[in-house]
Each structure stands twice: as structure tokens, then as C-alpha cells.
Amino acid sequence: MTSPTAPDLIFIMADDHAAHAISCYGSKINSTPNLDRLGREGMRFDNCFCTNSICAPSRASILTGTYNHVNGVTTLHTLFDAAQPSFPGLLQQSGYQTAIFGKWHLGHGPEHDPQGFDDWQILPGQGDYHNPKMINADGETIVAGYATDIITDLSLDWLEQRDPDRPFCLLVHHKAPHRRWEPDQQHAELYADEHIPQPVTFADDYSDRSNAATAARMRVDRDLTPDDLKGEVPEQLDAATAADWKYQSYIKDYLRCVASIDDNVGRVLDYLDDHGLSDTTMVVYTSDQGFFLGDHGWFDKRFIYEQSLRMPLLVRYPAEVPAGSTCTALTVNVDFAQTFLDLAGVPAPDRMQGSSLRPLLRGERPTDWRDTVYYRYWEHDDADHGVWAHYGIRTDRYKLVYYYSDGLGLPGTSDRRFAPEWELFDLERDPDELHNVYHRPDYREVREVLRAELRTQQTTLADRPHPDELENQE
């Protein structure tokens, strides 16, 4: 059974919402007042990272508290075994009322539909922004309206019908702001008369990095489609002006989708206030990963580079979390499941690989807290984005990356292989990750220490290094 002080839980997750598109994280391109309220009334995590920057694998890690080589969802095409232990299912077994509404993206069918939920209604695959099809245990239906509003409506309706004498765990999983971006009518003209500044690395030429960076097919100036841009680029623009036109088109629609999320987060917070639930409910806001907002000239995610790796994480729970607090400790998405179970007084299975964030939420950092984050991207050279398979580690100061560039025969990967490469970034001297120092003699000692740490992480987490790695140390 749950602890007598177990909180209610609302876990709100967007899709591809970069932390640097939230104003309480310092965004200079938009305002998110309701998300900022969560930061003001709770804790903002400044170094929260995903373990695989792609939708389905990240969602599987969040639900199960395990890395993808354990939960089996390594790519978008490896379906989720929904019978494996998850934090909603364990909470349900302990007396919680549980529900999920919105994006699932872990497969559909008896073995893959949500389990451990009293109620669920999900989008098929990515789903549609307008008048989406929704799936539940009874079948499929078309719901009129805009997906972000609909998901919130379903969530609030469920809260109205719940048993007020039992704790609840509600997952509100938005489609937005996933590509292709379709704003709602209310925000369709937002930023229409503004020029959004380009990020400082927008014109990155990848000259001091791996071939993997050059090969990726995610460039704003080249790889966005007319569907993404809602039309063709005007004729007679020079290359730089055409690239900026594309950037303005996509970033404004992206931010318009974010604005709808922010409004709907406000609806949830208002509901909790109006029903006297704010003090006893933990509200969590995050995204399944980060996103390139023109950083390095890219859109999308997948790489271990910062804007893709970093996740927003805002947590409000007045009973334990000091208002207006921040946390700089290294945290990862596999920590979420153990955190929720810890707060509920429910033991976490031994297979879970994260750590409860509860001491951090109280403002305490355990002396043995991690100083390294491990990452692995498996979906090698997929047809749409062309990002090569890699793994690596991030510490407070450094990032080491090995591009083993091999699909390993996994679903959704290419059978093409490329020469392995190493990258090393000194984040203190090069926060924009523009200069690979792996081969510099003055970083030789750092390189060897980090290579040993990479091996330690893989051994600890029971992941296997690529067999070619030991032959490609230089």
C-alpha cells in the first residue's frame, strides 16, 4: 500500500519541447507564463538529460526507469512490451487511480497498449493536431478540436470523476510541439510581425567536428519540406535570406504550438487551485527530449549535443519542494520512475536503473550522487534524418562521444556503415560544442580518464560497447 502522505501526481509531458524555449530557462524568443509559474512555485532542474533523444525510446525509459537496452525500445520501430514493470502500474497496484491521455507512441495492440492504467485514451502513432483520432480500450473515435485542448479536456474530465478518497496519478502527454507544426486558431498569428533572432550557431559549418555532424539531414536551410514551411520559399532570395525565411516559418509555428501548451498547463494549475488540490499534488512538467531550434543549423534532435540532450524539468510540490529553487545536479529521465515510487512509499524493482530525485527536491545533494550521464542513440542513419549511431558520456565539464555508426541490424536502421569517430568537448571553454578536442595532445589525459569512465558506465548499466571500439582509440 501507499504511504499515508503519498501525493497526488500530475505528470505533464510535451513532445520535443526544448528547455531553451521556456522563458524561466532564459528563453529570449518567447514567453511561457504558466510554465514559469511552476518554476517560481517549485524547482527548476537545470541539468536534466535524456538517455536517448528520440520519442519512443525516451518514453519507454521514463515509464520503466530503465535504459533502452533493458526495456527493449531502442528505436522508433522497436515496440514496447507494456507488461514490463512501470511506475503507473506499480502505483495502481498500490492503490492509486491511474490514467493517461494523449501521446503514447509505443505501439498499438494487446501487447503494446497502455497497461497499469484505469483509464486511457491515446493518439495513434504521432497523431494529428486537428480533429485527431483517439484510441481507447473500446476502439477508435474522431474527436473534434485541437489536440492540446482535447488532451487537457480529457484529463480534467477524469479528475472530476475520480474517487476523491484515493490518490491519483495522471499522465497528460501532449503531441505538441512535434513536427509538423500546426498551431491552433488562437495562436495562428502569434509572432507574425516579429523577427525571431537566429541562435549563435545557426551558420555552423561543422568544420571542427565529426563527419557525423556534416552528414545529418536535419538542416534548416536544406531539409525542411514545403509541408513544414506551409509553402514554397519566395523566389530570388539569396542563400542566407532563404535560410532565414525557412527559420522564421518553422520557429514561429513551433512557438505557437508551445503557447497552446502553456495555456493548457495554466488550465490544469487553475483546476488544482479551484478544487483545493494544489498543496497535495505534485505537478511535473517535462519533455521526452530536447530539440534543435536552429542550433547548429538544425531542427529535430537525436544527437548527444546539448540542445537535444537536455530536457526541461519543472516540479511543484509545496509539501517538500522549496518555492523558487533550482537544482544543478546531473539528472536523467530514468530517475523519474523511482522518484514517483519513492514519494508514494512504493518499493522500486531492482531492474530500475535510476535514482530517486527526492533528496534533490528537498534541496539536499547526496554525497554519492552521479557525476556522469550515459547516453546512447541507436537508430543509425535512418532514412529521414541520417544521424549516425553513437554513445557517450557527459560530466559537469566534458562530453565524450563515440560514433560507432552501425545499425546492428535493428529495425529502422540503415545497413550502411561509416568509419568510427570520436568527439570530445570541453563544455567550460566551448559551451556551444564547436571544437572537437579529442585529438589534441593537451587533452590526452582527459581523454583517457573519460574513456575509462565510459567503460565504467557501460559495465555498471550492463550495456555492451560496440566491438570495434577498442580498435578505434585514435
Confidence of residue 301 (pLDDT cuts 50, 70, 90): very high
| CA nearest neighbour of 56 among 126, 127, 134, 130 | 126
What integer pLDDT is reported at residue 5 of this predicted model?
78
Q: Where are the beta strands (DSSP E) in 261-332?
A: 281-287, 310-311, 313-316, 325-327, 331-332
Query: What integer best gives the mean pLDDT of the chain?
Result: 96
pLDDT of residue 449: 98
Tell whether the model's pLDDT for residue 82 goes beyond 70. Answer: yes
DSSP 8-state assignment for residue 111: T
pLDDT higher than threshold 90 for residue 468: no
- Alpha-carbon distance values, 110 to 82, 127, 255, 260 (Å): 9, 19, 36, 33
Is the pLDDT confidence value at 470 over 90?
Answer: no
* pLDDT at res. 289: 98
Please give the average per-residue pLDDT across 206-212, as a whole number: 96
User: Is the separation of the CB atoms in 263 and 34 below 8 Å?
Assistant: yes
pLDDT tens readout for residues 401-417: 999 999 999 999 999 99
Q: What is the three-class DSSP state of 204? A: coil
Report yes or no: 421 and 210 within 8 Å, Cβ to Cβ: yes
Percent of the chain with pLDDT over 90: 96
The sign of the torsion formed by the CA atoms of 276, 279, 280, 285 equals: positive
Please write the tens of the pLDDT for every residue from 369-398: 999 999 999 999 999 999 999 999 999 999
- Phi first, then psi: give them for residue 460, nearest 5 degrees: -65, -40
pLDDT bracket for residue 83 (50, 70, 90) = very high
Given a cut of 80, is residue 74 above it in pLDDT?
Answer: yes
> Average pLDDT in the 218-246 region?
94
User: Could you give the CA distance from residue 243 to residue 233 in angstroms, rounded to a whole number?
Assistant: 9
Residue 305 is classified by DSSP as S
Please, which pLDDT band fits residue 22 given cuts at 50, 70 and 90?
A: very high
Q: Please tell me the distance from the alpha carbon of residue 214 to that of residue 403, in angstroms, as a whole number.
A: 13
Burial (CB < 10 A; 0-12, 13-18, 19+), residue 380, is: buried
Q: Which of 407, 373, 316, 337 is nearest to 48 (CA)?
A: 373
The yes-or-no verdict on residue 284 having pLDDT over 70 is yes
Q: CA-CA-CA-CA torsion for 405, 410, 416, 422, nearest 10 degrees? A: 0
List b or e across 15-53, with b for residues whose CB sees 16 or more CB atoms inside 10 angstroms. Answer: bbbbbbbbbbbebebbebebbbbbbebbbbbbbbbbbbb
* pLDDT above 70 coverage of the chain, percent: 98
DSSP class per residue in 231-246? SPPPTT--HHHHHHHH
Which whole number is the average pLDDT over 3-9? 85
- 469 — pLDDT class (breaks 50, 70, 90): confident
pLDDT at 415: 97
Q: What is the pLDDT of residue 393?
A: 98
The count of other CB atoms within 10 Å of the CB of residue 395 is: 16
DSSP summary character for residue 158: H
DSSP state of 112: T
What's the angle, vertex CA 389, arms to CA 336 and CA 254, rounded to 5?
Answer: 60
Q: Is pLDDT above 70 for 57?
A: yes
Over residues 152-193, the pLDDT tens digits come to 999 999 999 999 999 999 999 999 999 999 999 999 999 999
Provide the grid cell at 143. Answer: 474527436
What is the identity of the amino acid at 55?
A: C
Distance CA 324, CA 309 (A): 24
Per residue in 326-352, pLDDT (tens digit) is: 999 999 999 999 999 999 999 999 999
CB-based contact 100:80 (threshold 8 Å): no
C-alpha 135/C-alpha 142 separation (Å) is 9
pLDDT of residue 472: 63
Sheet holding 331-332, edge to edge: 310-311, 48-49, 331-332
How confident is the model over 313-330, as pLDDT tens digits?
A: 999 999 999 999 999 999
What pLDDT does 2 receive? Answer: 62
Query: Beta strands 281-287 and 119-123: pairing type?
Result: unpaired
> For the chain, what is the radius of gyration of the CA atoms?
22
Sign of the four-CA dihedral 105, 111, 115, 119: positive
Task: For residue range 111-159, list pLDDT tens digits in order.
Answer: 999 999 999 999 999 999 999 999 999 999 999 999 999 999 999 999 9
Separation of alpha carbons 16 and 306, rounded Å: 14
Report, as an integer, the average pLDDT of 35-62: 98
For residues 178 and 419, give the distance between their C-alpha atoms in angstroms, rounded to a whole number. 32
Q: Is the pLDDT of residue 474 over 70?
A: no
State how far the Cα of 341 lies from the Cα of 282, in Å rounded to an integer: 12
Q: How many CB atoms lie within 10 A of CB 169?
A: 27
Please state at what angle helix 335-344 crosses helix 55-64, rounded to 10 degrees: 30
User: What is the rounded end-to-end Cα distance, in angstroms, of the chain?
Assistant: 54
pTM of the model: 0.97
